[in-house]
Chain A
Amino acid sequence: DTGVSQNPRHKITKRGQNVTFRCDPISEHNRLYWYRQTLGQGPEFLTYFQNEAQLEKSRLLSDRFSAERPKGSFSTLEIQRTEQGDSAMYLCASSLVGLPSGNTIYFGEGSWLTVV
């Protein structure tokens, strides 16, 4: 099992540009989560998918943010017209619901975004 994989690991972009992050969850995990973490804070929930269905979106997810999981496997998080306040680490996580360990959520290494 290779774990949750995220890329790119680091992205520096100019304000106003669009960026996209990709997440590959643990194989066969049917739930996939996106979190955002700023320095000195705990991760904040953004959205999650069960298979290809996006089941919940946080109010933190403005209309400039969009997430997809088209085939129920990998997911992308796109940020349009980036702002300096978007600078953060974007964490992806996955879990398998239904087993005894199903409510344990495993995290990737995160994607750092710096907006200049």
Chain B
Amino acid sequence: AQTVTQSQPEMSVQEAETVTLSCTYDTSESDYYLFWYKQPPSRQMILVIRQEAYKQQNATENRFSVNFQKAAKSFSLKISDSQLGDAAMYFCAFTGTASKLTFGTGTRLQVTL
């Protein structure tokens, strides 16, 4: 069974600064996908970024980038130039051959002025 662990229940960052959210996972599969989802107070789960395990290059989406370390089974999210609108719960998630998502417990990100 796959597990996803987010060890930071809460993080805080000042506006315009950079923050990194941690995620580790455990799987015996070799072909899988990893995701970061954002869930603001409105509760809709919004895809932030995805990474295919077979790709060595780290994914980037504007201010969001990941540090994917396959051997270490680590998948952290870096948010640069943080904005007030980035405040939300962030969930790391995994999907493999089972095609369903397994989520971590989430990290609540606060953005301060």
Residues on B with C-beta less than 8 A from A45 are 100-102
Q: A105 contacts which of B43, B44, B95 (Cβ < 8 Å)?
A: B95
- Interface size on B (CB < 8 Å)? 22
8 Å CB interface, B80-101 against A: 91, 93, 95, 98-101
0/1 per residue, B34-50, Cβ < 8 Å to A?
Answer: 01010000111111001
A91 touches B45 (CB 8 A): yes
B44 touches A108 (CB 8 A): yes
Interface: A48 (CB within 8 A): yes
The CA of A43 and the CA of B102, in the complex, are separated in Å by 8
Interface: A106 (CB within 8 A): yes
A105 touches B98 (CB 8 A): no
A104 touches B44 (CB 8 A): no
The CA of A103 and the CA of B50, in the complex, are separated in Å by 10
Nearest Cβ on chain B to A6's Cβ, whole angstroms: 10
Nearest Cβ on chain A to B38's Cβ, whole angstroms: 11
A33 touches B100 (CB 8 A): yes
Q: B103 contacts which of A31, A42, A104, A108 (Cβ < 8 Å)?
A: A42
The CA of A44 and the CA of B106, in the complex, are separated in Å by 12
A109 touches B102 (CB 8 A): no
18 CB < 8 A contacts A-B: A31-B99, A33-B100, A33-B101, A35-B101, A41-B105, A42-B91, A42-B103, A42-B105, A43-B101, A45-B100, A45-B101, A97-B99, A103-B95, A103-B99, A104-B33, A104-B47, A107-B44, A109-B43
Chain A positions within 8 Å of B, measured between CB atoms, are 31, 33, 35, 40-45, 48, 56, 89, 91, 93, 95, 97, 103-110
